[in-house]
Structure 1
């Protein structure tokens, strides 16, 4: 199991961790973000499938892309309420930060639905880590927070992400549109119910610090499964 020792933060969301036999999701502290900067710096997109237009600005090779990425995470960490929150995790493999996995909730205590978003260093793509980190964050959502449904989406030509969704039991849930490089592109939407997740639930994933985080997110005790 991958572990990283660090002092506990006074802010519970930064203490949440998810450990699998292959990787860990660790709350995105400033220390971990700094360690991830070199990966962000070298992650400029040079070919399809092209990613989203986002604060990380994957199309630009300049210091501003790292600054925008950091500001985006800092801003998101500071806009947490019962109505809307986003948990940011750094993906750590063998002690090395290799990407990020986010979990997003809107009116979660009412609807119990979440959305996931992630990116991974090109150096480790193709090794099954994309699927593993998604399984980890779904375990947090369903087992730790008591989610009833999770959604995900990817551009239709992002075959790796769409294959992960399909392999984990998501069902197609229509299409939408977004932009990349300023141009419209079609998105494949996916939906995973608690029942479908339960059929594939793993028993080798460990959660840390979740109970202390629930009040910060305005979440009542999760339903007994």
Structure 2
């Protein structure tokens, strides 16, 4: 990926060139997140593998989940792994964990307005538009599309080919009843 210009919507953690400082900061953020799992706030980090190679990440974030039963998803795929249906597959899998495994009532997601692929994935999986917000991207303001998926809309598209393993063992750590 060296020498390739990132898409405008890409997160700065994208490693388009060897940058040990950027990589270290990214890893520290993940380790910090893993080390601060609390009942009122948690973030689960999952790696996306293609042919045994890490090509992306899929996160599930819960803030006051025990009270609101709402999660937020975060997805990222390396440019070489895009346009193969992986974005939809990995989001469907994490939504299955949220709704089928943890009993979520709704899930939210955001994508920059020009991240057409991510916005298409949200729409295809049943999310409904939920307004817009602003974020800073490379030092400049940029519009985010917000998305919301209710349990009922997920149930309509629920997949039968996704298997959850070990969910019951992790629920107590997250204080999920």
TM over 0.5: yes
1:219 correspondence with 2:176: yes
Alignment of 1:176-195 (within 5 A): 176-195=133-152
Q: Distance in 1 between matches of 2:8 and 2:165?
A: 35
* Secondary structure of the structure 1 residue equivalent to 2:171: helix
Q: Which whole-Å deviations, capped at 9, do the CAs of 1:67-100 have from their partners, x for residues lacking one?
A: 0111010000011111000000011223222111
TM-score by length of 2: 0.94
1:46 correspondence with 2:5: yes
Alignment of 1:138-177 (within 5 A): 138-177=95-134
Q: Which residue of 2 aligns with 1:210?
A: 167
Q: Which residue of 2 aligns with 1:5?
A: none
Q: What residue ranges of structure 1 are gaps of 5+ in the alignment? A: 1-41, 221-225
Alignment of 1:102-113 (within 5 A): 102-113=59-70
Q: Distance in 2 between matches of 1:210 and 1:45?
A: 39
* Secondary structure of the structure 2 residue equivalent to 1:86: strand
Q: Which whole-Å deviations, capped at 9, do the CAs of 1:147-196 have from their partners, x for residues lacking one?
A: 00000000001000000001111100000010111111000000000000
Q: What residue ranges of structure 2 are gaps of 5+ in the alignment? A: none
The CA deviation at 1:60 is: 6.9
> Over aligned residues, Cα RMSD in angstroms?
1.7
The CA deviation at 1:43 is: 7.3
TM-score by length of 1: 0.75
Q: 2:29 aligns with which of 72, 91, 116?
A: 72
* Secondary structure of the structure 2 residue equivalent to 1:110: helix
Of structures 1 and 2, the one with the larger relative CO (CA 8 A, separation 6+) is: 1
- Asked whether the equivalents of residues 172 and 188 of structure 1 are also in contact (C-alpha less than 8 Å), the reply is yes
Q: Which residue of 2 aligns with 1:123?
A: 80
* Secondary structure of the structure 2 residue equivalent to 1:207: coil
- Asked whether the equivalents of residues 144 and 210 of structure 1 are also in contact (C-alpha less than 8 Å), the reply is yes
Q: Which residue of 2 aligns with 1:92?
A: 49
Aligned residues: 177
